[in-house]
Amino acid sequence: MVETSRVGIDTLEYRDIAKTIDHSLLRPELDVATVREGVGLALRYDVASATVRPADVPWAAEVVAGSDVLISTVVGFPHGSHTTRTKAAETEELVAAGADEIDMVLNIGRLISGEDAYVEQDIRAVVEAAQGRLVKVIFENAYLDDVQKIRACELTAAAGAGFVKTSTGFAPSGATIEDLQLMREHSPAHVQVKAAGGVRTLDALLEVMNVGVTRIGATATETILEDFKARKAGVAPPSDVAAPSGAY
């Protein structure tokens, strides 16, 4: 098990919090103007990445060019049941379009069926197609038992991916502390853990960081970071900053 030190407002700086956040812009009903505004927010708050839908990658990459904010996107999303060849081709296209990180959904049905070799090769094909870019593997824990989650951790590490991730944000439930602890315990130290689905407040972010999470998917980015800045300064956060609803 990887040991982690307790963190809190007093031990962290703004960048420590901001660079844990992938600002999620994945909901299918978002119009392009809304996604553009979201990418701008990611830039303004200097988060780790803006996570955009595949079709939005080319222009989003141009928007963040020259900044310290990355563009992440999704492959095999949200169900994971695309063929391996399709996932690899999608990854190659998105990398060519400017994606810096890939969040892929593993083949949930094959994992549940015990077809570990298939699942590992499916992940490995995306890792290879990503050409050295970070790959995060989404399990969709809402549909898995603990044994399956542990196997998913082992297969992710064996396939060479860099992150295990709880969920898409579109399943019946998202990240739980119990799942995050399980994933951290059963992943090697070099494989990081991402929480997605339900981390909408600064306190929730601090809680998951304290079980070893190094990245979250969030729509409540502004709420979280304004709260951090206010609490770090010893004042109340702005009352007009409200957490948005929706996946992540």
Number of Cβ atoms within 10 Å of the Cβ of 42: 29
On the 0-12 / 13-18 / 19+ scale of CB atoms within 10 A, 231 is: middle
Beta bridge partners of 135: 102
Dihedral, CA of residue 188, residue 191, residue 193 and residue 196, to nearest 10: -130
CA 200 to chain centre: 14
On the 0-12 / 13-18 / 19+ scale of CB atoms within 10 A, 96 is: exposed
Contact in structure between 194 and 167 (CB atoms under 8 Å)? no
Catalytic residues: 103, 165, 194
